Structure 1
Amino acid sequence: MSVKSIEKDYDTLTIAALAEFEATPQRVWELWADPRKLEGWWGPPTYPATVQQHELVPGGSVTYFMTGPDGKTYHGWWTVLVVEAPRQLSFRDGFADEDGSPREDMPITEVTVTLTARDGGTAAEVVTAFADRTQMEELISMGAVEGAAEAMSQMDAVLAAG
């Protein structure tokens, strides 16, 4: 598994995941930039994602839903903030209603992905920042750390598939 660590930091209100891949930064970048590849790992294995809209440009939107084992769908959205291919991506990530409308009652996070060439491969750091400790604790209690580890553990298979 490429995920090396996932660290919670209550002082900075962040969760930082570090992964290493035997692939170039450009190939790892495609895990976010290609909606079909994003579907291959975004969400835990038992909650596969379907990307509905994918505009990976500053100000663009990404909308998706995950389908649980019971067939129930869970919708989400991104507002893209920064795109510096193949080095950095930053976006706001939140929950949505079935019609795609952002849910105001759920936390919104800011995610920053940084890819760095290293030893013939790529190090990926994914930092999720929270507005406050309450929101951080809420998402952690919902299984965000375990879900992120399960989701990211699928990245190697997506890279291997081309």
Structure 2
Amino acid sequence: MTFVSSSKDTENLTLTVVAEFAAGRERVWQVWEDARQLERWWGPPGYPATFVRHEFVPGGRSHYYMTGPDGERGYGWWEVTSVEAPDRLEFLDGFANEDGSPVDPEDTSTTVVTLDEAGSTTRMTLVATFRSLEQLQRMAEMGMEEGLREATGQIDAILAEPALK
């Protein structure tokens, strides 16, 4: 099973999601690095993501949108702050306008993704840190925890395909 656990820590303003995959760390890294693979799982089922821009380098920007079942779009952006392939990724995350610009440059969270390999499996730990308890609660009410759990559940099918060269 892919999903291992999720937890909210209101004292430290974090949401943590842990998943395990029957694949090596380099292969799991590709589902973050490659925009076409990323967009196949970043949105939960029924809300596929489209990455218009994905600059996977420190200082790089990503702009994406998720399309809901009724065709409505929700836009987001990332600013990549650290890339330590294939072990660790860090980025700022926020809501975007249609052109990819932040709706509110102060309404961001910081996400750190770590990949730890143990034998033939890789554990992915995603920790989102929020600026305030109100922001954490708002994102929880929007279904972020469940959305991430469902989204990570889509990764196994991608990993079953051949790795990128």
2:73 matches 1:73:
yes
TM-score calculated relative to the size of structure 1:
0.96
- In structure 2, the residue matched to 1:98 is 98
Return the offset for 1:119.
2.8
Aligned-residue RMSD, C-alpha: 1.2
Q: Secondary structure at the match of 2:17?
A: strand
Structure 2: which amino acid aligns with 1:71? G
Alignment partner, residue 138 of structure 2: 138
Q: Map 1:76-87 onto structure 2 (within 5 A).
A: 76-87=76-87
1:5-43 Cα offsets, whole Å, 9 max, x none, are: 011111111011111111010000001000010011001
**Cα distance in 1, alignment partners of residues 29 and 105 from structure 2:** 31
Structure 1 stretches of at least 4 aligned residues deviating more than 3 Å after TM superposition: none
Equivalent position of 1:3 in the other structure: 3
Alpha-carbon contact 1:89-1:112 (below 8 Å) kept = yes
Q: CA deviation at 1:100?
A: 1.6
Distance 1:84-1:105 versus aligned 2 partners, 3 A rule: closer
Contact 1:107 1:139 survives alignment (8 Å): no
User: Among the aligned pairs, what percent are the same residue?
Assistant: 48
SS in 1 for 2:107: coil
The alpha carbon displacement at 1:108 in A equals 1.1
Aligned position for 1:39: 39
Give, as a single letter, the amino acid of the residue that structure 2 aligns with 1:72.
Answer: E
The 8 Å contact of residues 4 and 20 in structure 1, kept in 2 or not, is answered as: yes
In 2, Cα distance between equivalents of 1:71 and 1:105: 26
Moved more, 20-29 or 102-111: 102-111
Output the TM-score relative to the length of structure 2. 0.95
Q: 1:34-82, CA deviations, whole angstroms, 9 ceiling, x for partnerless residues?
A: 0010011001111000011111100000111110101111110000000
Unaligned runs of 5+ in 2: none
Give how far 1:160 is off.
1.1
8 Å contact 1:95–1:106 — kept in the other structure?
Answer: no
Deviation at 1:105, TM superposition (A): 8.0
SS at match of 2:36: helix
How many Å apart are 1:158 and its aligned residue?
1.2
The alignment of Structure 1 onto Structure 2 pairs a total of residues equal to 162
Tell whether the 8 Å contact from 1:55 to 1:61 is kept in structure 2 after alignment: yes
What secondary structure, in the 3-state scheme, does the structure 1 residue paired with 2:19 have?
strand
Q: 2:60 maps to what in 1?
A: 60
Q: CA deviation at 1:161?
A: 2.5
